[in-house]
Chain A
Amino acid sequence: MATETTREKNLVQRFDDWLGQETTPKRALATYAVLALYFGFLLVPVAWLVLSTLVSSDTLYSSTLVPSLTELSLANYAFVLGLGEFQGYFVNSLIVAVGTTALTLVSGTLAGYALSRFEFPGRKPMLLSFLSTQMLPRVLILIPFFLVMLDLELVDSLLGLVAAHTVLALPFTTWLLKGYFDDIPRSLDEAAKMDGCSQVDILVRIIAPLSLPGFAVAGFYSFIISWNDFLMVSILSQTAGTRTLPFGLQLFQSANQVNWGLTLTAAVITMIPVIVLFALVQKWLVEGLASGGMKGA
């Protein structure tokens, strides 16, 4: 009978049953082996990337896969970080990403709250239009976007980059925050009104403190959109004064050769702020992604 039951179940169901069984050393070993394989697949390239930044060009181009400890040095980091142009790009990236995050959070919060709490003509079309902007390839809007920015005299300015990145990040963050605000009972707004709050007071004193995980997700998303963007920067930035790190990776390339050691080092330095930020907001991110589900209009 039991054999018949097993035979009737498909592979997924049998795997599900296997997961539900009590843990034994053998099963634990199998689980960890699969996990190690999976994370190895994800992390080995990153580890190799970091390792490559710690060796000289000669070692990098040699056939040695794992260098000896004596060959490791921070010379690449010293060179990249000491490069004035790179420092400028780093500062620009930081200004633009922080500016984008701040502007997106403020605009997304106000928009998300309005869409969550108020009924007004055009509300649903507006929500759908936010969503539809995400369906277009970014390249498609480059030229009209550039012309608009040119009219606004925002080309080749950090403010222009902040505005451009905010445009990219805002639709998703608005949807995300609207979904998060929808989950907060309206009776809290009403209780706050009875307690003497204005609409802004309600948002600042009641809704915002309850939405920190949502803000963490939205902020992290905006920061990454801005930090990693190359496309917008490549058309809006005309001089070194407004270039950001992804653009800076080109510093170590010429028409004839690429200095991989320095390029990879610059890439690692570019990654670090995102990893640090993720570590800081990780707890809220998980909570925010789990509870601030996207909801319909």
Chain B
Amino acid sequence: MGEIDIDTLRKVFPGAEGEIVAIDDLDITIEDGEFLVLVGPSGCGKSTTLRCIAGLETPSSGTISLDGVDITDRQPKNRNMAMVFQSYALYPHMTARENMSFGLKMTTDLSKGEIDTRVSEAAEMMGIERLLDQKPGEMSGGQQQRVALGRAIVRDPEVFLMDEPLSNLDAKLRTTMRTELQSLQSEFGVTTVYVTHDQTEAMTMGDRIAVLNDGELQQIGTPLECYHEPANQFVAGFIGSPSMNFFETSLSRTGAGARLDHEVFDYLLDQEGTDAVADVSDSVTLGIRPEDIELADGDEPNAFSADVTVTEPLGDVTFVYFEIGGQQVTASIDGDILLSEGSTLDIVFPQNRIHLFDGRTGGALKNREMPTDDELVDVSL
């Protein structure tokens, strides 16, 4: 078992210019065996949340429960959780074997033989048998990472806590370790809380992701939910790479429906869009993901012309940067289409792909339609 319930968690740090609120009334329930990713920009409170769960920070208020038992005031050693640190935090004076067995020696009554067996099994699983008698200083970053993971696995804890464990690895190794971590987690079925600022990790690894900003939970859901149905403009901008494009527009109502007026284009909303903005008085932010921008023939409704400033051909797709009303807009188009910088293109934002946000609060008014099952199958193929 390993269900974690975080209830109105708040953490305040004293600062030179008053208090700094690191976590503000956070409520999250993490199911047993779930892989939850805490994601957000630097200083959003994700690591502090993880440290509160670990017991390394004392919450200012609120409670943390494990399987229904309040563990808020428990020492880290009494929580049966294992943590993998960003810096690996291997003990430099101990060999890999000693590093891995240290936690078992301190927290269990297992005999030396039993501890050795468990360390050997974990080492075999992580492919680090040959490293067991080496000290961390004699290992590469990737090897240290594996030992750090082995140290967590060998404890057989109820919860794995991981604080940006892949951020010190090179890009290739990071991709490999990402896959390995996912397989390990699904193999063990241990509840895992994973902190990262890398949205690729967040999207690919988590069963659910919790997006935080300024200590507040912005949204919690599956990666695809957060991607396709962001709760607000922050989530929409944070999840997805390249980021979603936003246009601040003023709302006007016509006989044909609501219209969004931008300094470069006007966008007439369909009935669904008009209904979505019914309660908004004036300003609306229109959002469109780069991959949802389409090239137009010129006669589609809402199409307009834009100048290409830069193109970045990546092979399968090309990132095209436009200058629209003094702001840079990114589009991701088919890599087979050849475009030259300086040319002018007609583009259109399809009605079923746009997102609308309240210009004042940033809350989502309308999200793009979720992909159909057929589309999802196409993606997986």
Q: Which positions in A face B, CB cutoff 8 Å? A: 185, 187-188, 190-198, 201, 205-206, 209-210
Contacts and interface: CB of A to CB of B under 8 A. Distances in A.
A196 B107 contact: yes
Contacts of A194: 54, 56, 76-77, 81-83, 103
B92 interface: yes
A4 B151 CA distance: 63
Which 8 pairs of residues, A with B, have the shortest CB-CB distance? A196-B106, A195-B103, A196-B107, A191-B89, A196-B77, A187-B89, A193-B76, A209-B93
Nearest to B75: A193
Interface string B81-103: 11101110111110000000011
Contacts of A185: 87, 89
A192 B54 CA distance: 12
B195 to A, nearest CB: 14
Nearest to A210: B93
Interface in B265-281: none
Interface of A is mostly: helix
Contacts of B55: 193
Given A188-B91, A190-B56, A209-B93, A195 B85 contact: no
A285 B90 CA distance: 25
B271 to A, nearest CB: 56
Contact of A210 (B92, B103, B106): B92
A158 B9 CA distance: 57
Contacts of B151: 195
Contacts of B106: 195-197, 201
Contacts of A197: 77, 106
Given A195-B155, A197-B106, 18 more contacts: A187-B85, A187-B89, A190-B54, A190-B56, A190-B76, A190-B83, A190-B85, A190-B89, A191-B90, A193-B56, A193-B75, A193-B76, A194-B81, A194-B103, A195-B106, A206-B91, A210-B92, A210-B93
A109 to B, nearest CB: 16
Nearest to B157: A194
Contacts of A209: 93
Contacts of A187: 85-87, 89
A194 B160 CA distance: 11
Contacts of A198: 77
A193 B91 contact: no
A210 B85 CA distance: 19
Interface in B8-31: none
A193 B93 contact: no
A191 B144 CA distance: 14
A187 B102 CA distance: 16
A191 B77 contact: no
A188 B86 CA distance: 11
Q: How extensive is the interface on chain B, given as a class?
A: 20 to 34
B85 A191 contact: yes
Contacts of A192: 91, 102
Nearest to A206: B91
Contacts of B54: 190, 194
Interface in B213-235: none
A173 B94 CA distance: 26
A269 to B, nearest CB: 38
A192 to B, nearest CB: 8
Contacts of A206: 91
A209 B91 CA distance: 10
Contacts of B76: 190, 193-194
Nearest to B148: A191
A193 B85 contact: no
A185 B85 CA distance: 12
Interface in B85-137: 85-87, 89-93, 102-103, 106-107
Choose among A187, A195, A196, A205 the residue with the greatest number of B CB atoms under 10 Å from its CB. Answer: A195
A187 B84 CA distance: 10
Nearest to B87: A187
Contact of A191 (B75, B83, B93, B107): B83
Contacts of B103: 194-196
12 contacts: A185-B87, A190-B76, A192-B91, A193-B76, A193-B77, A194-B76, A194-B77, A195-B77, A195-B103, A195-B151, A195-B155, A196-B106
Nearest to B54: A194
Nearest to B77: A196
Of A185, A190, A191, most B-chain CB atoms within 10 Å = A191
A159 B86 CA distance: 48
A210 B135 CA distance: 13
Nearest to B76: A193
Given A195-B106, A196-B106, A188 B56 contact: no
Nearest to A194: B83
Contact of B89 (A188, A201, A205, A210): A188
A205 B90 CA distance: 13
Contacts of B93: 209-210
A190 B90 CA distance: 11
A189 to B, nearest CB: 9
Nearest to A188: B89
Nearest to B163: A187
A258 to B, nearest CB: 52
